[in-house]
Amino acid sequence: MDLFEAMDTNRAMRRLKPDPVPRELLEKLVHAATRAPSAGNTQHWGFVVVTNREDMQFLADILQRRMGQFSREAENDAQGRMMRAVRYLITHFHETPAVIFCCIRNAYPTAERPISATMWSTIFPATQNLLLAARGLGLGAAMTTFQAGAEDEIKARFGIPDDVYIGSTIPVGWPMGRFGPLGRKPIDEVLHWERWGGDA
């Protein structure tokens, strides 16, 4: 698949079939994630892949507790579709075949005096690589940060060290829906030449 086609059709897939994802495909996703740049090439990342049903129920309970009352008012049809998909993910999370925690150690340039911006500038490109790899393999995935607010509980469950942070939580599975074009603002609304507000 052409890289730009993957980017242009890489929808957040929140409705996933319960069918298992082969281990080798999950390993491919992590391989792709580790092709990303990292601060000082330190590669302080780690990826926890969860497929165990009891652990998935544990995560589903956290998600339901944190977002079960998700009821924001939709401003348009596209937002309404997104919110329905989020609600589906919340109520069916226990059926998700795999979840990948993209984790990062805050230790650059040194563990004693880290710069937190470099932590996020490392783990988010890795997350995007993972999402694009999922698209290339025909897998559905979605960028989430639902671990926020329950990170200590999740880290304790999965043995994630205290000095490691969870940057993103990615549900992965075979999609129920179809990949398709993304709804994004045209670039002339977001592109600034030479300075903010600058025209061509």
The string of DSSP codes covering 130-182 is: HHHHHHHTT-EE--B-TTTTSHHHHHHHHT--TTEEEEEEEEEE-BSS-----
The token pair at 67 is 């977002």
CA dihedral 44, 50, 55, 59 (to 10 degrees): 70
Q: Residue 134 and residue 192: Cα distance in Å, rounded?
A: 31
Name the one residue in this structure whose structure tokens are 């393999």. Answer: 137
pTM metric for this prediction: 0.91
Q: Residue 12 and residue 197: Cα distance in Å, rounded?
A: 30
Residue 200 pLDDT: 63
List domains and CATH numbers for the chain: 3-189 (3.40.109.10)
Name the one residue in this structure whose structure tokens are 């990826």. Answer: 47
| 10-residue averages of pLDDT along the chain (200 residues) | 94 96 99 97 97 97 79 65 86 96 92 89 98 98 93 97 96 95 92 89
Nearest 5°: phi and psi at 98?
-155, 150
Residue 79 pLDDT: 76
